[in-house]
Amino acid sequence: MEDNFKKTEYHLYNYKDIDKLNKIDEIKIRQLENDITLSAVQYDKDSISQTNAFHSSVEDEVIRRDEHIKNKIDHLKADIVKRNLEKELIEAAIDILKDDERRLIELRYFSNPTNQWNSIALNLNVTYDACMKNRYKIINKISDYIN
């Protein structure tokens, strides 16, 4: 149970950075798609020999490079999809909460910088102890939906 609680808090704390991380990955994808660099082929005296190959080492290098870039782009796109699904899941779970519960989550996990619990309790007009009790109840409730 404690493990799910920590996982849920981790997801909530990272929620506010999802769009920023996606933007970074989108920039990386554009860089990879626009990259036209190609490493030079090294020819040693001993390795040059007559061949009947229908392709060159430069063509092989281009093919390897394209496959490597495609794999990187696919990985970045998969990360973006995963983060977007996580964001949707968190938003759906938070929509289920009551207004006062949602407000506690927003004040603690989505504000930048993170508000202290004393400040949140004051803002919600409850005691610190009530705030902490509500926190555990709310996080466990959200945990049931997102873990």
Contact present, 22 and 83 (Cβ < 8 Å):
yes
- Each residue's pLDDT tens digit, 92-122: 999 999 999 999 999 999 988 888 999 999 9
Contact present, 142 and 93 (Cβ < 8 Å):
yes
AA letter at 15? Y
Global pTM? 0.75
Contact present, 107 and 12 (Cβ < 8 Å):
no
Provide the pLDDT confidence category of residue 147 given band limits of 50, 70 and 90. confident
What six digits make up the tokens of 99? 């207004």
**What is the C-alpha separation between 40 and 52, in angstroms, rounded?**
22
- Each residue's pLDDT tens digit, 118-127: 999 999 999 9
Residue whose tokens read 């927003």: 106
Residue whose tokens read 């004051």: 122
AA letter at 54? F
Mean pLDDT value across residues 25-51: 70
Residue whose tokens read 């990879």: 32
C-alpha dist (Å) from residue 119 to 72, 94, 104, 123, 139 = 44, 21, 11, 6, 19
Q: Which conformational region is residue 61 in: left (phi greater than 0), alpha (psi within -120 to 50 degrees), or beta? A: alpha
